[in-house]
Chain A
Amino acid sequence: MVHLASKKGSTLVIILALIGVFSILGVSLLMSNSQTDKERKFIINQQQLYYVAEAGLTHAFHKLKTHTPSDLWFEEEGKISAKLDSGSYDVTLVLVDKNSVEIKSTATLGKSKITRTATAKFLEDRRITLNTPFLCQEEISRQWVLNF
């Protein structure tokens, strides 16, 4: 009798313990989910910002294509800035030497930032062709090449 009397309320204790265990399991699952959610947001931010930064480089290079080293615009106008759906970019261009421009594009979305850099080089290709109605001719092709 004494033995049985000591089991008073044992079911309750067992159930409470079980609920405690399952609660801990559930909370840890929720925490794990919230961690995955954070990771997802981080990856989304990084991916979208990467393309925004790339867009900045594209924009700068696009503008360079209509200029030669003798008529570069950015020393007067400053940096290029624009906004896309998933962030904004600021691009700074610096003339490194006579034929090279360093492009630095910084994408911003909230507190996140990504910077991409590239160098644009101006190439001058001289070609001499003889197979023309004229005796000879020299062709000079000028183009900007983007090196990431």
Chain B
Amino acid sequence: MFTVFFFYDIIFFMKIKNRGMSLVELMITLVILVIAGGPIIYMFIMSSKGVAVEADFFKGIYLTQQLVEDYLSEVYVNPKVVLTDGKFKEPFEDYSYTVKYEEVENEDLLYKVTVTTSWKSGIGSIKYPVSFLISKRYSLTIENKTHTAWDEEYGPLGF
């Protein structure tokens, strides 16, 4: 009974005192939502995209660092080790890398190595390059062997 009177009261009020007020409010609200809500939703979407892009980027940076460090630890032990283009192992198979060797000008056996890691992200394809030098001279035997007599008692030796 009370509910019936309550609704009757509202309808009466709208009809007599405030006719169409809710409709006007609703329309204004919709207009504001369309104008202001769009950019806000866009901001949210871009933010969530940005988070994913940054996460991918950090993965790319650390994968590249790991690759370079592994290579550097090997190359001075075994100078024949050459880094070639490839893909990272699971679960990072979306990340691939290319390797470029260039001779450093005016230097013998000194090479510039550029490792470029690339991956597809929410904002397109991203490439991250890291350059460093390696010297093939390190692993070579650079001993300057000089043979001399160690005891004068035997006289000068012929070599």
**B partners with A:** yes
- Residue pairs across A and B with CB atoms within 8 Å: the count is 151
Chain A nearest Cβ from B12, distance in angstroms = 9
Q: Is B134 positioned at the interface, with any CB of A under 8 Å from its CB?
A: yes
Q: Tell me which residues across on chain B come within 8 A of A55, comparing CB atoms.
A: 112, 131-133
Q: Is the CB of B134 within 8 A of A58?
A: yes
Counting chain B CB atoms within 10 Å of each CB, which of A40, A55, A66 scores highest? A55
Q: Is A59 positioned at the interface, with any CB of B under 8 Å from its CB?
A: yes
Q: Is the CB of B151 within 8 A of A136?
A: yes
- Known contacts A47-B65, A136-B150: does B46 contact A30 (CB below 8 Å)? yes
Contact bitstring A54-94, B, C-beta under 8 A = 1, else 0 = 11001101110110100000000000001011100000000
Chain B nearest Cβ from A106, distance in angstroms = 15
Q: Tell me which residues across on chain A come within 8 A of B26, comparing CB atoms.
A: 11
Q: CA of A86 to CA of B112 in the docked complex: distance in angstroms?
A: 12
- Known contacts A85-B129, A134-B159, A138-B150: does B58 contact A40 (CB below 8 Å)? yes
Chain A nearest Cβ from B8, distance in angstroms = 13
- Known contacts A8-B21, A30-B47: does B143 contact A142 (CB below 8 Å)? yes
User: Please, which residue of chain A has its CB at the minimum distance from the CB of B132?
Assistant: A51
- Chain A interface size range: 35 or more
User: Please, which residue of chain B has its CB at the minimum distance from the CB of A124?
Assistant: B144
Q: Is the CB of B130 within 8 A of A36?
A: no
Chain B nearest Cβ from A37, distance in angstroms = 7
Q: Is A48 positioned at the interface, with any CB of B under 8 Å from its CB?
A: yes
Q: Is A112 positioned at the interface, with any CB of B under 8 Å from its CB?
A: no
Q: CA of A23 to CA of B25 in the docked complex: distance in angstroms?
A: 21
Chain A nearest Cβ from B98, distance in angstroms = 13
Q: Is the CB of B135 within 8 A of A61?
A: yes
Q: CA of A16 to CA of B129 in the docked complex: distance in angstroms?
A: 47
CB contact between A8 and one of B18, B44, B134, B138 (< 8 Å): that residue:
B18
Q: Is B157 positioned at the interface, with any CB of A under 8 Å from its CB?
A: yes
Q: Is the CB of B43 within 8 A of A30?
A: yes
- Known contacts A29-B43, A55-B133: does B138 contact A16 (CB below 8 Å)? no
Q: Is B57 positioned at the interface, with any CB of A under 8 Å from its CB?
A: yes
- Known contacts A30-B46, A65-B135, A138-B148: does B17 contact A1 (CB below 8 Å)? yes
User: Please, which residue of chain B has its CB at the minimum distance from the CB of A33?
Assistant: B50
Q: Is the CB of B131 within 8 A of A143?
A: no
Chain B, 32-71, CB within 8 A of any chain A CB = 32-33, 36-37, 40, 43-44, 46-47, 50-51, 54, 57-58, 61, 64-65, 68
Mark B residues whose CB is within 8 Å of A. 10, 13, 17-18, 21-22, 25-26, 28-29, 32-33, 36-37, 40, 43-44, 46-47, 50-51, 54, 57-58, 61, 64-65, 68, 104, 107, 109-110, 112, 114, 128-135, 137-138, 142-151, 154, 157, 159
